[in-house]
Amino acid sequence: MSFSPELVGQVENLWTRYPEKKAALIPAMHLIQKERDGWFSNETIVDTAELFGVPDMHVRGIVGFYDMFHATPVGRHVVRLCKTLTCKLCGAGELIKHVSTKYGVKNGETTADGRFTFKLFECLGHCTTAPMMLVDEEKHESLDIEALDGVLEGLK
């Protein structure tokens, strides 16, 4: 399967920024992941490798290295909840428990209705407004259980 012309155009534009095409791989993989339902199937890995002229296991190795790339299917949204020290100090532990009981998902799991994939992330850099989570690209800070439910229940 080939990528959309828009995506290829964006990637070609990225290539102009670097002396070597490969440098645009990670920025491009964000765009590719978005176009391919939020994860890297074997097919997407091979397509990406072909687009960049790198071995497919190089792309696979990048998917495996970076937390934001997914090697398995994800739900319609990706919820990333910070679990590192400050957020833990400020109540992230309760939020994690709550998500597990109320929505039935633990770290890395997707809700039965496919609404969201729940990922525990290491420090997301919003420590002064802890605890926080990213839902796709939107951030939600100073969370408590009520605020968290407000966000998650509002997801389509």
Partner 1 sequence: MTRETRVMLEYADDPAQKTLEGYRENGGYQALEKALREMSPDQVTAEVETSGLRGRGGAGFPTGRKWRFVPKTDKPKYLAVNADESEPGTCKDRQIMERDPHQLIEGSLLSCYAFGAKTAYIYVRGEYPHSIKALEDAIDEARAANLLGDKILGTDFCCDVWVHPGAGAYICGEETALLTSLEGNRGYPRIRPPFPAVEGLWHCPTIVNNVETIACVTHIIKRGGEWFSKLGCEGSTGTRLFCVSGHVKRPGVYEFECGKFTLRELIEGFCGGTLSGRPLKGVMPGGSSMPVLRADELDVTFDIESVQKAGSSLGSGAIMVFDDSVGAVGAAVNIAEFYSHESCGQCTPCREGSDWVRRMLLQFAAQDARDGDLDLLMDVTDKMDGTTICALAEALVWPVQSFVRKFRSEFEAAVRESAVGTATQ
Partner 2 sequence: MSTNGKTVNVTIDGKQVTVPAGTNIIEAARHVNTEVPHYCYHPRLSVVGNCRICLVEIEGWPKLQIGCNTNVSDGMTVFTASDKVREAREGVMELLLINHPLDCTICDQAGECKLQDYAVDHGTGLTRFAFDKQKKPKNVSWGDKVVFDAERCILCTRCVRFLDELCGTDEIGIDFRGEKVSLIVRDDGQLTSPYQMNIIDLCPVGALTSRDFRFKSRVWFMQFANTLCTGCARGCNVVAGAREERLLRMVPRFNAQVNDHWMCDEGRLNYTFVNDEDRLVAPRVNGKDVPYDDALARAAAILQKAKEGGGGAADIAVLGCASPFMTNEELFSFAGLLDALGVTERRFAIPMGEGDDMLLHPEKAPNARGARLFGFQDAPVDAERDWDVVVHFAARDGGGLPDDLNAKSRIVFSLQVDKNADVNFPLTTSFEKDGTVISAGDRLQRVSKALTFAPSHLTERVVLDRLRGLIEDGYQGTDTAALALARIAQEHAAFEGLTWTGIGLQGVSLQLAEAEVGA
**Residue 59 neighbours by CB under 8 Å, 6+ apart:** 25, 29, 40, 45, 48, 49, 52
By CB under 8 A, the residues from 15 to 74 that bind partner 2 are 42, 45-46, 55-58, 60-61, 64-65
Burial, 153: exposed, middle or buried (Cβ in 10 Å; 0-12, 13-18, 19+)? exposed
Task: Please say which residue, 92 or 152, places its beta carbon nearer to partner 1.
Answer: 92
* Complex with partner 2: residue 20 or 138, whichever CB lies closer: 20
Taking the C-alpha atoms of residue 145 and residue 136, their distance in angstroms, rounded to an integer, is 19
Write the DSSP assignment of 123-153 as a string of letters: --S-GGG-S-EEETTEEE-S--HHHHHHHHH
DSSP state, 73?
-
Nearest distance from residue 39's CB to partner 2, in Å? 15
- Binding partner at 55 among partner 1, partner 2, none, C-beta below 5 to 8 Å by kind: partner 2
* Contacting positions for partner 1 (CB under 8 A): 17, 19-20, 22-27, 29-30, 52, 54, 58, 61-62, 65-69, 80, 83-86, 88-90, 121-130, 134, 137, 139
* Contacting positions for partner 2 (CB under 8 A): 42, 45-46, 55-58, 60-61, 64-65
